[in-house]
Amino acid sequence: MNIFTETGLNNDLLRAIDKLGFEKPTPIQEKIIPNILNSNDDIIGLAQTGTGKTAGFGLPLIQKINIDNRAVQSLILCPTRELCMQITADLKDFAHFSKGLSVIAVYGGANISPQIQSLKKGAHIVVGTPGRTLDLIRRGILKINNISTLILDEADEMLNMGFKEDLDSILESTPRGKQSLLFSATMPAGVRRIAETYMNNPVEISAGKKNTGAENISHHYYVVRASNRYLALKRIADINPGIYGIVFCRTRNETKDIAEKLIQDGYNADALHGELSQSQRDYVMQRFRNKSLQLLIATDVAARGIDVSDLSHIINYNLPDDPEVYLHRSGRTGRAGKSGICISITHSREGRKVRELEKITGKQFQKKMIPGGREICEKRLFNLIDRMEKTEVDEEKIESFMPSIYKKLEWLNREELIKHFVSLEFNRFLDYYRNAPDLNVNQENESVSKKGRGNNTKYTTIYINLGSKSGMNPSRLIALLNEAMRKRDIPIGKIDVQRNFSFFEISSDYDQKLIQAFDNVIYEDRPVIVEIKKGGLNKTKGNKKTSSPRRKKGNYKPKSKAGKRR
């Protein structure tokens, strides 16, 4: 089935679908729409977040509504206010050409009086969170004793959020002959209990494999020291200028701390956590939905029910303990047929967790290297140039200003103008990332053991005219090498940092490339000199007469020990 006309939907709904730009049904829609239209069977729909469940149940639900009957005919329960509002908005969009259909949202954290007034006027479909729905039922305002359809959306999330008792109370109040539709990304024991207790021989419909990741999501991970997680997060954001995503943290305090740091460092970010009032939460979500925020920092609980279809990235600031939580997080990107990336910032002892997640998602996780300053500045520079090239010029709007601008800038030639333009945008990045250390944990600690002495690698000893007096240490030296060579997997051996200069070992396959790479390199306003040291690093031990390219200046005094390993 490639087009919606084959699903059995009426012309009013097909016109709405066309207006919304839907081209063909998703797998869950393709399976579930005809089933709902052509039977009254109870259905369990298993599909990950973002696979089109709302249209899957919403379109046939609207078609089966009797517009002439103003009593509540369908009740949809979902875990959060945000999802409640999103489902309501979607149903209204689907019913754009279905005249007279009334859909009302009821949820906590808002004044109940307007919701009561709306219900008294009559509604065909009510979408609600469990707590507010039960409150309205007990007040006698919301009458569900004659509903024909009950839908539980994200049932596993509702149970995770503690709505078991509320759900039981609501379900016990519904008529036996209704059609029940239960949608869940996973089927834990609590969801299975609901199905067994309140559903009648349900048909199970699954879109793809159970508990697996979506096919159009790529999974990346970075390995850093725990103390460098925040720095790594900033570099990930910097190397992706168009990033639009959610950063998941473990705790409320961590969420607030990370958001505050990002805001202070000039990023378009904000936090979503349990201490926010409903009005504050709404304000943050409004800014995030209209993309005034690029990064939303949130806990899993606070982010439940967020339905934004075009997120480019999900970032796990910490890997969750529960693999199901990872699936829920990653499922928030790669929606509506778009691709997405789920990134995890890990430490060296989490390799087993990564392997387990690979098995559960059925996808291979790509290990990435935290980018260095040169890579980031280059990426952002060319992104800016691309944006400038694609900017539409409206001659009429700017024409009156141009003579003054030309006169103001007439002292600059073409090359100088470009330099000023680049400097205006990039001085902050260039200053921040100048001499920035390498954050990749394996660069300093694992390179020798994995790539070096154990595999017969031949090394060349290199002299460099930078030492501890210049702020050099093994980590910064490796970062400098990576920046100059623009390659991160070159085997590095021993490193000896002295006061005015240093020695290090590099794979002999790269020694000449290294010499060429450092031609005209400047470090803290000082030309960098690198030269091959004959005889090897160890032969400098105790040999005060060892020749050196810098001996004439009196700053070459080898240590008695060979220094640190990388």
Does the pLDDT value for residue 174 go beyond 90?
A: yes
Give, as one character, the DSSP assignment of residue 266.
T
Query: Which of 302, 366, 367 lies closest to 329 in space, CA to CA?
Result: 302
Give, as one character, the DSSP assignment of residue 553.
G
Point out the least confidently predicted range of 75-89, 170-184, 423-437: 423-437
DSSP 3-state of 552: helix
Question: For the domain 4-206, what is the CATH code?
Answer: 3.40.50.300
State residue 418's pLDDT score.
Answer: 84
Does the pLDDT value for residue 451 go beyond 50?
A: no
State residue 325's pLDDT score.
Answer: 81
- CB distance 195 to 182 below 8 Å: yes
Point out the least confidently predicted range of 337-351, 464-478, 528-542: 528-542
Give the Cα-Cα-Cα angle 71, 30, 184 (nearest 5 degrees). Answer: 65
Burial class (CB in 10 A: 0-12, 13-18, 19+), 220: middle
State residue 67's pLDDT score.
Answer: 92
Query: Which of 94, 228, 222, 78 lies closest to 159 in space, CA to CA?
Result: 78
**Residue with token string 């006698």:** 140
Higher pLDDT, 514 or 457: 514
Top CATH class of 441-565 equals: alpha beta
Does the pLDDT value for residue 212 go beyond 70?
A: no
Model confidence band, residue 12 (pLDDT cutoffs 50, 70, 90): very high
Does the pLDDT value for residue 449 go beyond 80?
A: no
Does the pLDDT value for residue 507 go beyond 50?
A: yes
For the four alpha carbons of 466, 472, 478 and 480, in that order, the dihedral sign comes to negative
Structure tokens at 185: 């990304």
Q: Which residues contact 424 (CB under 8 A, 6 or more apart)?
A: none
> What whole-number distance in Å separates Cα of residue 122 and Cα of residue 144?
12
Neighbours of 474 (CB within 10 A): 22
Question: Is pTM, for the whole model, over 0.85?
Answer: no
Q: Which residues contact 508 (CB under 8 A, 6 or more apart)?
A: 457, 458, 459, 460
Higher pLDDT, 37 or 430: 37
Q: Which residues contact 206 (CB under 8 A, 6 or more apart)?
A: 45, 46, 47
Give, as one character, the DSSP assignment of residue 401.
G
Q: Which CATH superfamily is domain 217-367 in?
A: P-loop containing nucleotide triphosphate hydrolases (3.40.50.300)
φ, ψ of residue 164 in degrees (nearest 5): -55, -50
State residue 558's pLDDT score.
Answer: 37
Burial 71-87 (b: 16+ CB within 10 A, else e): ebbbbbbbbbbbbbbbb
φ, ψ of residue 306 in degrees (nearest 5): -65, 125
Strongest mean pLDDT among 212-221, 360-369, 425-434, 472-481: 360-369
State residue 553's pLDDT score.
Answer: 37
Within this chain, domains 4-206 and 441-565 share the same CATH topology:
no
* Per-residue pLDDT tens over the stretch 225-238: 888 999 999 999 99
* Per-residue pLDDT tens over the stretch 14-50: 999 988 888 788 888 888 999 999 999 999 998 766 6
DSSP 3-state of 419: helix
State residue 336's pLDDT score.
Answer: 63
Q: Where are the domains of the chain?
A: 4-206, 217-367, 373-433, 441-565
* Per-residue pLDDT tens over the stretch 131-157: 999 999 999 999 998 999 999 998 888
